[in-house]
Homo-oligomer: A and B are copies of this chain.
């Protein structure tokens, strides 16, 4: 019933929009912002559904109508209303991605991998950043689900219970990316940060270091750094002394460098017996390396320095920085591939992928 009435009204409107004289008062509730599909249909002299088909599945419309419709679209400057389409079809081409921070290059690289893969399939990425706050993460997940996405990606395997419940009950494929370890909500791509820490322990032991410090930045928030520390500590148990330093400060892009710069002389003064420092990330390690360079501190003679992530700059310092390379862009691409497969109704090769890591031994250890 409403269909009939509504169509009558919109047909009139379409005539107005396409320029036909019409003195009937407008019945719309508010200002008309944009050209609609009905107006295009009127312009092309076809039914709205035909315009819809011509746009979404051109092959299903005869060439003659198709070209008339394309012309009307062009002439009227029609831009489809995504909200209406999404509401009617119960489908969106938007994939939300939740990360803890954009200040950390690591997440940005994963995001780039995701974006490339997702855009190639005609999807759009909706980015949310939690600021390492799991409460904020929960709120963000709820809001983003309101966009009825076909799938969702979230960094990490640790969430508040309500977040996990919400995502599990959303009935869409979910990928948790960054680390492996515990059971995922649905799918998982990442690497074992515990094993990465253990690998660094083995490396430092092999090079003869026995009094080792781990330097973290706001470890309370960064549980992946805690996992690396755990791996280091367990692997060194009984073979070398380990001490944890948890530093503050250094917000924003490149902030970690300043923290490493400040930390080096502090730690050497307080615990002069240290012979090696494993920094939670390369930024901090590079900051320490630059500080050693300025102060004339011998690396690795006085103190060995290692980092984590495998940023390009690790290969450019003197000495080069020992680090663990994580395949970040690959994580993004694989995570997106898994999700897109499931969205398309296919089963991905695997639902849990460990992308591994590589220890690059440099001159700094």
A56 CA to B254 CA in the complex, in Å?
40
- Alpha-carbon gap, A284 to B264, bound state (A): 26
Q: Does A227 contact B (CB under 8 A)?
A: no
- A1 an interface residue at 8 Å Cβ cutoff? yes
Closest 6 CB pairs of A and B: A2-B2, A1-B1, A254-B312, A82-B146, A290-B316, A83-B87
Q: A317 at interface (Cβ–Cβ under 8 A)? A: yes
Pairwise interchain contact A83-B147, C-beta atoms closer than 8 A: yes
Binary CB contact string for chain A from 72 to 97 against chain B (1 if under 8 A, 0 otherwise): 00000101111110110010100000
Question: Taking the complex as formed, is A12 at the interface, i.e. its CB lies under 8 A from any CB of chain B?
Answer: no
Q: Which residues does chain B contribute within 8 Å of A257, judged by CB atoms? A: 312-313, 316
Q: How many whole Å from A154's CB to the nearest CB in chain B?
A: 16
Q: Tell me if A125 is interfacial: C-beta within 8 Å of chain B.
A: yes
Q: Which of A16-24, A104-112, A345-353 contacts B (4 or more CB under 8 A)?
A: A104-112
A207 within 8 A of B: no
Is residue A171 within 8 Å, beta carbon to beta carbon, of the partner chain? yes
CA distance A82 to B149 in the complex (A): 11
Chain A 235-253 near chain B by CB (<8 Å), digits 1 or 0: 0000000000000000011
A102 to B30, CA, bound (A): 38
Which of A126-134, A215-223, A300-308, A334-342 lines the interface with chain B? A126-134
Cross-chain contact B254 with A311 (CB below 8 angstroms) = yes
A225 within 8 A of B: no
How far is B109's CA from A147's CA once the two chains are assembled, in angstroms? 26
By a CB distance below 8 angstroms, the chain B residues around A294 are 316, 318
Pick from B30, B87, B291, B293: contact of A90, CB under 8 Å: B30
**Are A79 and B145 in touch, CB under 8 angstroms?**
yes
Alpha-carbon gap, A275 to B95, bound state (A)? 51
**Which residues of A from 142 to 177 have beta carbons under 8 Å from B?**
142-143, 145-148, 166, 169, 171
| Contact residues in B for A5 (Cβ distance below 8 Å) | 1-2
Count this chain's copies in the assembly.
2
Chain B residues with CB under 8 Å of A286's CB are: 313
A265 CB → nearest B CB, Å: 13
B148-A33 in contact (CB<8A) = yes
Give chain A interface residues in 289-335, CB to chain B under 8 Å.
290-291, 293-294, 311-313, 316-318, 329
Would A258 and B312 be within 8 Å (CB), given that A90-B30, A318-B294 are in contact? Answer: yes
Partner of A253, one of B92, B105, B124, B166: B105
Task: Report A95-122 CB contacts with B as 1/0, cut-off 8 Å.
Answer: 0000000110100110110010000000
Out of B83, B129, B287, name the residue touching A83 (CB < 8 Å): B83
- B residues within 8 A CB of A4? 1
A25 at the A/B interface (Cβ < 8 Å)? no
CA gap between A252 and B79 in the complex, in Å: 33
Q: Contacts A126-B126, A257-B312, A257-B316: A103 and B112 contacting too (C-beta < 8 A)?
A: yes
Is A261 part of the binding interface, using a Cβ–Cβ cutoff of 8 Å?
yes
Partner among B108, B127, B169 whose Cβ is within 8 Å of the Cβ of A103: B108
CA distance A226 to B286 in the complex (A): 31
Q: Which residues of B contact A102 (CB under 8 A)?
A: 108, 111-112, 115
A362 is an interface residue with CB less than 8 A from chain B:
no
